[in-house]
Amino acid sequence: MSERQSAETQIKVIPFTEQIIAGRFADKTVIVTGAASGIGRATALRIAKEGGRVIASDISSDRLQVLVADNPQLNLVPVVGSISVQEDVDEIVEVADANDDLYGLVNNAGIMDNFQTISEVSDDVWERVFGVNVWGTMRMTRATIPYLLEKRQGAIVNLSSAAGLGGGAAGVAYTASKHAVIGMTKNTAIMYGPDGIRCNAVAPGGVITNIGGQMLSARAQERIGAAMLVTSPGVATPEALAATITWLLSPDAGNVNGAVVSSDGGWKAF
Ligand SMILES: NC(=O)c1ccc[n+]([C@@H]2O[C@H](COP(=O)([O-])OP(=O)(O)OC[C@H]3O[C@@H](n4cnc5c(N)ncnc54)[C@H](O)[C@@H]3O)[C@@H](O)[C@H]2O)c1
């Protein structure tokens, strides 16, 4: 949900205060995709403030430059590229392990659909949404795992959504893509847990970011538009999501693998 939409509809912002844990990611490199905006930006900053080296990857060169220029004291390494393109993915991971200390991956980059239903969705929207949310997450994880296997430790956090847990939060393309992310998360957790690699997912509710997502479907508006407003506890700040993501990345979550953690102010408990 964009800040403009939030202001227009007067949706409540759920209060959150960030509490930095000094040194939590010292000597660790973490890749954050989609690091130039929203949840990815807040996550990259949180890891870097806690001593980590962050490979801040995004398709937007301009926004990445702003992120780095605004935070010269932090160890942020910008890498421009699309997670949907294999060559870009390979470059991101190679830069990340240059010091042989790659520890984590946050598969955050994602795009929304337009709330279109199965009878309305175009091939183009389906391919674009799956190209980033599913193919991108798969490609980044596939490229990263060999580096983590060498060290026999690491943590991966995938961004799913409330739309990955139910059918009433987005259109069919986004909903299916975020369900797929949960499947990838659980399979990866089972396959690589014995090698010291954990893989978990976070399911945010509404968050104040630039993701957009116009309601283009009259059917979706009727079926879920009003219901979402009634049941939603409000929207979270990106920093609130960064706190959940970094906890899952950190050794404190060492016993958590294959989990889907809702970070939605209780929305999905409704
Ligand atoms: N904002 C929400 O309400 C919400 C709710 C549930 C889940 N999520 C998920 O959280 C994640 C982050 O979303 P956000 O709300 O911060 O969005 P955002 O649009 O603010 O940021 C996403 C970033 O990803 C980048 N990006 C897009 N396509 C890319 C690609 N192919 N390669 C590399 N980077 C790319 C964009 O340039 C942008 O900087 C997404 O996976 C999204 O589905 C968001």
Percent of the chain with pLDDT over 90: 94
C-beta separation of 87 from 95 below 8 A: no
Q: Enumerate residues 6+ apart whose C-beta is below 8 A from 203.
A: 160, 161, 162, 164, 165, 178, 260, 261, 262, 263, 264, 268
* Cα 52–Cα 235–Cα 184 angle in degrees, nearest 5: 55
Query: What is the torsional sign of CA 43, 46, 47, 52?
Result: positive
In the structure encoding, which two tokens stand for residue 261, read together? 């953690």
Q: Which whole number is the average pLDDT over 194-210?
A: 98
C-beta separation of 200 from 256 below 8 A: yes
Lowest mean pLDDT among 3-12, 23-32, 49-58, 143-152: 3-12
Q: Which whole number is the average pLDDT over 77-88?
A: 98
What pLDDT is recorded for position 200? 99
> pLDDT tens across 154-178, in order?
999 999 999 999 999 999 999 999 9
With a 6 A CB cut-off, is 78 part of the ligand 1 pocket? no
Q: How confident is residue 9, by pLDDT bands cut at 50, 70 and 90?
A: low
Q: What's the mean pLDDT when you consider all of the chain?
A: 96
Ligand 1: atom nearest CA of 211 is: 19
> pLDDT tens across 210-261, in order?
999 999 999 999 999 989 989 999 999 999 999 999 999 999 999 999 999 9
In the structure encoding, which two tokens stand for residue 37, read together? 């905006």
Tell the burial category of 13 from Cβ atoms under 10 Å away from its Cβ (0-12, 13-18, 19+): middle
C-beta separation of 217 from 188 below 8 A: no
CA-closest residue to ligand 1 atom 2: 207
**The residue to which tokens 């990106």 are assigned:** 238
Please give the distance, rounded to the nearest whole angstrom, from the Cα atom of residue 211 to the centre of ligand 1: 6
Is 48 a residue whose pLDDT tops 90?
A: yes
d(CA 239, CA 209) in angstroms, rounded, equals 11
With a 6 A CB cut-off, is 5 part of the ligand 1 pocket? no
d(CA 29, CA 185) in angstroms, rounded, equals 21
Secondary structure element (H or E) that encloses residue 137, with its range? helix 137-151
Please give the distance, rounded to the nearest whole angstrom, from the Cα atom of residue 21 to the centre of ligand 1: 25
Classify 79 as helix, strand or coil.
strand
Characterize the bridge pairing of strands 29-33 and 102-107. Answer: parallel
Q: Which residues of 137-156 are buried (b: 16+ CB within 10 A; e: fewer)?
A: bbbbbebbbebbeeeebbbb
Fold of the 3-11+21-259 domain: Rossmann fold (3.40.50)
In the structure encoding, which two tokens stand for residue 92, read together? 């991101």
Please give the distance, rounded to the nearest whole angstrom, from the Cα atom of residue 112 to the centre of ligand 1: 8
With a 6 A CB cut-off, is 134 part of the ligand 1 pocket? no
The yes-or-no answer on residue 103 being catalytic is no
Q: Which whole number is the average pLDDT over 70-87?
A: 98
C-beta separation of 28 from 101 below 8 A: yes
CA-closest residue to ligand 1 atom 23: 34
Ligand 1: atom nearest CA of 208 is: 1
What pLDDT is recorded for position 3? 40
Is 26 a residue whose pLDDT tops 50?
A: yes
**Catalytic annotation, pick one of 103, 147, 174, 192:** 174
Ligand 1: atom nearest CA of 88 is: 32
**The residue to which tokens 């403030």 are assigned:** 49
With a 6 A CB cut-off, is 38 part of the ligand 1 pocket? yes
> pLDDT tens across 116-163, in order?
999 999 999 999 999 999 999 999 999 999 999 999 999 999 999 999
Is 101 a residue whose pLDDT tops 80?
A: yes
With a 6 A CB cut-off, is 210 part of the ligand 1 pocket? yes
Domain ranges of the chain: 3-11+21-259
Percent of the chain with pLDDT over 70: 96
Which among 114, 202, 209, 229 is the best mutation to test ligand 1's pocket, defined by most ligand atoms within 8 Å of the CB?
209
What pLDDT is recorded for position 239? 98
Amino acid at 178: K
CA-closest residue to ligand 1 atom 25: 34
CA-closest residue to ligand 1 atom 43: 110
With a 6 A CB cut-off, is 108 part of the ligand 1 pocket? yes
Task: Say what angle helices 38-49 and 61-70 make with each other, to 10 degrees.
Answer: 30
